[in-house]
Structure 1
């Protein structure tokens, strides 16, 4: 019997080895037969939906997203294509907003760099906004050589706005009492709970941020379209515009349907030119910056918490920056002798004070050990997002990046009365005078309230002192621009909180300069890991066609799951706004306006 089992195990082992060998062989065969880049290519990109900043390979979000490109993918692909003689032009389909203000500006920079190398870029939309604002999509389109819209479409460039819910009175009706403290008047993250309308500081900071964005957009579109900023502002005030009116105002170059645009682009590219999705091109042609000394690219995306990062929550659609994970990546980069500099991409509204300080410490230690650190800010790097950035050698932000919010808040929602209305009584019990201090069933005692206020003072003083040290600014000046106030990247630069405006290319240039590197560099992602989700997705055949003419059937497999994820994420955002979902407190967190544009 023993020999039988040993023999059986041997057979199973042999079959396993043969199976693995077959899989590896098939993978190798598939890789070796992988199609290349045709001799004449028109790159095609669909930006109907917002681009993700970064999706960790091991996350479920990676499987749900499939092979949709990220911000860096698009920037890298256009940089690579700019120097590729096979690539003749680029055609981009726009619909809704492709992302935040900062993301749109990053893409605009990439398109302009592509065009500067002699390549043509064409933008097309069936409409720039239908019963919604298409301002962001048009702002991006204006950076192209030509902009076309369907004859029945609109140009709804109505400007930039936001809505903030206030539910203090509603919570009072339900018996929920907020006990929140903040430092200082501009720290508006708690205002939805404690106010019923905008306070003057809250209104002031939001209006200034939105005004800064409109100023940037009007100036950019004016330069792109050969108009004055006043003409652009007048068009915004007149919008929504019919397509014919947009043509009269020289905001678009023609009224064409998709088939007409694509036929025109292919004809101009020359006989035999083929469409190829930009993400497929990147996969086949490879990324730029792959030779030479290593610059480590480390992402810090999402709300900051202690512990490990979360690759992407399928419920919220958001990644989480774990202090331990990012700190470990920074240490790995420092220990790697090949790494000469670190590019730290931050896209976070903040979160845990302790976790933020954990990451900041490793940034500082990296510099002390001779590894320059350059921060590149994405959509936002505010509060805790600014905390992790402030000790870098240089900070780069887009003009529309939301940053600053140097401040703190903490507290709780007391639900004792709400539960009593339901006939439920929560009875806290603890050993220790303040063991139940943060229990939601009881209000703070006067002594506990004083302790919470003392905590806020300590964190704020520490935050501002560290900003002064890291940014080499007088403490008095820091406290003038702090107070929890958010700033656009452009305004933050004027106040010494940011060094340069731009995106990945600017940050990479500064990294090379700081490390005194000449010539090409190799940008390497830290930590580098291929997770199970990607492998599973590949095994399930999660692959798109090469261009939009042959993609529909493949996309249909994943479409229902993505639609479900989108609805779930919308419900999650509503829950967060109502205070029903999320952590009790994120002491270094900024109010991120849900900007419509």
Structure 2
């Protein structure tokens, strides 16, 4: 119907009853043969999944099927359901494996994947690599968290990506010349999972050497989540802080599909398998499951802030619930230690490390050249990072303020739980 509306008629000749690739252009519904073949394929895949899960339940297939239908799960809920043995960060899992194996060191092996020698790789080679000149002797490291927070393993200039951040923070923890770290945050948040990974890395770092968080224009939701792991938090009086809360959702495009004359067909195995589909809204059952998932993430957010700031859960909740506040209000609420800018935070880090006032600094990520920046964007492996970088480019050309619409583009990504500020503020 969509093609007909624009005067296009597809002529497709298929060899074989089940050769259905062209049906999307010629049919208004999924043909019976295609539905039969797809259903049989999903039956086999689902049976393999049930069989694999049943091995955790002593072969109880019924229990395995029920566990699959009861998803999606947060980490703790998955543990309670018997789907995972423990909830831990990757470094904790490696330490557990080291002790269990009675070895001195655990080596991480990457699964072999096809190398993508595309534009990103070419630009990286032309740019001359990414090795930065090291700072010799005792110094302070300045780590920037700028832009929306996304989960992934490849750096993106437009976002704060969890993988590269965690790797760098662990390197700083092991570098004896790095005596203190200033965490400079200017982020409205983003992925709750990425924020939690980054919080954990900073928390471990702060247990070994002084970490001072310096909040820029905005350190809200996921941005504050990460900052809370520091030993001390500095903010400007007009900084936007707080927004301790999470959101989640999806786009229901059924009305758009209807207007376009497009009729998507979703075939599932598992009671909630299609909960993230854009072809319909959430059912009441799915809404309940997502609400439980978000509630678990919110409680984890409260625990993280409470443990870092030495605040009871009730006190954190009283100033949380998604409330956005100024640096002054955050100071009164106990979310900020000192009102001051970056220079004051840097000086405090030097004092805590017992370094001279002119002790040198190193920065991460270092400023990239034009070719390196293009390489980062072109070579992005994280769908969230790449899609958000594209959003910034397009929206920024419309208006700088459009590009700052908090969680809007992230809601179109696959992450079901976001710790993101609801809006941006411009003072004129």
Partners of 1:455 and 1:433 in 2: CA distance = 16
| Mapped contact 2:396–2:403 kept (Cα < 8 A) | no
Report if the CA contact (8 A) 2:297-2:417 is conserved: no
C-alpha distance after superposition, 1:348-371 (max 9, x if no partner): 000001100111011111122x22
After superposition, where does 1:311-460 map in structure 2 within 5 Å? 311-312=156-157, 319-368=158-207, 370-460=208-298
State yes or no: 1:486 paired with 2:324.
Answer: yes
CA deviation after TM superposition for structure 1 residue 477, in Å: 1.1
Query: Is the CA contact (8 Å cut-off) linking 2:216 and 2:239 kept in structure 1?
Result: yes
Matches of 1:459 and 1:488, distance apart in 2 = 24
Please report how far the alpha carbon of residue 445 of structure 1 lies from its aligned counterpart in structure 2 after TM superposition.
1.9
Contact preservation (8 Å) 2:162, 2:194: yes
5+ long unaligned stretches in structure 1 = 1-289, 313-318, 537-564
Q: In structure 1, what is the Cα distance between the partners aligned to 2:147 and 2:253?
A: 28
Q: Return closer, same or farther for 1:358/1:534 CA change in 2, 3 Å cut-off.
A: closer
Indicate if the aligned counterparts of 1:377 and 1:398 stay in contact, CA closer than 8 A.
Answer: yes
Following superposition, the deviation at residue 345 of structure 1 comes to 0.6
Cα 1:580/1:342, change in 2 over 3 Å? closer
Contact kept, 8 Å, 1:292 with 1:520, in 2: the verdict is no
How far, CA to CA, are the matches of 1:484 and 1:535 in structure 2? 34
Give the Cα separation in 2 of the matches to 1:492 and 1:392.
15
Answering whether residue 407 of structure 2 is matched by residue 569 of structure 1, we say no
C-alpha displacement at 1:566, in angstroms?
A: 9.3
Partners in 1 of 2:256 and 2:190 — Cα distance? 27
Q: CA deviation at 1:581?
A: 4.5
Q: Out of 93, 118, 139, which is 1:294 matched to? A: 139
Q: Is the 8 A contact 1:304 1:384 kept in 2?
A: yes
Partner SS state of residue 410, structure 1? coil
SS class of match (1:467) = helix
What is residue 590 of structure 1 aligned with on the other side?
A: 421
CA RMSD of aligned residues (A): 2.7
- Whether the 8 Å CA contact 1:333–1:526 is kept in 2: the answer is no
Match of residue 307 from structure 1: 152
Task: Return the alpha-carbon distance in structure 2 between the equivalents of residues 426 and 448 of structure 1.
Answer: 20
CA distance in 1 between counterparts of 2:166 and 2:183 reads 11
Contact 1:292 1:521 in 2 (8 A): no
Matches within 5 A, 1:149-160: none
CA distance in 2, matches of 1:475, 1:578: 27
SS at match of 2:272: coil
Deviations 1:249-283 (A, max 9, x none): xxxxxxxxxxxxxxxxxxxxxxxxxxxxxxxxxxx
Partner of 1:526: 364
Q: Structure 2: how far apart are the matches of 1:446 and 1:535? A: 45
Question: Which residue, 291, 315, 339 being the options, matches 1:501?
Answer: 339
Q: Structure 2 CA distance, aligned partners of 1:578 and 1:506?
A: 29
The residue aligned with 1:468 is 306
8 Å contact 1:481–1:495 — kept in the other structure? Answer: yes
**SS at 1:299's partner residue?**
strand
Q: What is the TM-score normalised by the length of structure 1?
A: 0.43
- What stretches of structure 2 of length at least 5 have no aligned partner? 1-134, 375-392
Q: CA deviation at 1:431?
A: 2.6
**Shift in Å at residue 310 of structure 1?**
4.8
Check 1:478–1:527 CA distance in 2 against 1; reply closer, same or farther (3 A cut).
same
Offset at 1:531? 4.8
Shift of 1:526: 3.0
Contact 2:239/2:327, CA 8 A, preserved across alignment: yes
In structure 2, distance between residues paired with 1:440 and 1:534: 36
- In 1, Cα distance between the equivalents of 2:401 and 2:316? 33
CA deviation string 1:318-371 (max 9, x = no partner):
x20001111111111112111000111111000001100111011111122x22
In terms of fraction of residues, the more strand-rich structure is: 1
Describe the SS at the equivalent of 2:141.
strand
| Cα distance change on mapping 1:464 and 1:573 into 2, 3 Å | same
* Aligned counterparts, 1:88-167, within 5 A: none
Structure 1 residue 402: Cα displacement: 0.4
Give CA-to-partner distance per residue, 1:136-176, whole Å, 9 cap, x none.
Answer: xxxxxxxxxxxxxxxxxxxxxxxxxxxxxxxxxxxxxxxxx
Do the aligned partners of 1:309 and 1:320 also contact (CA within 8 Å) in 2?
no
Cα distance in 2 for residues equivalent to 1:570 and 1:371: 44
Q: Is contact 1:399-1:489 (8 Å) kept?
A: yes
**Number of aligned residues:** 273
- Per-residue CA deviations over 1:536-560 (Å, capped at 9, x if unaligned) read 9xxxxxxxxxxxxxxxxxxxxxxxx
SS in 2 for 1:411: coil
Report the Cα offset of residue 476 of structure 1. Answer: 1.2
CA distance in 2, matches of 1:348, 1:535: 19
* d(CA) in 1 for partners of 2:258, 2:372: 49
Larger radius of gyration, structure 1 or 2?
Answer: 1
- 1:567 deviation in Å? 8.1
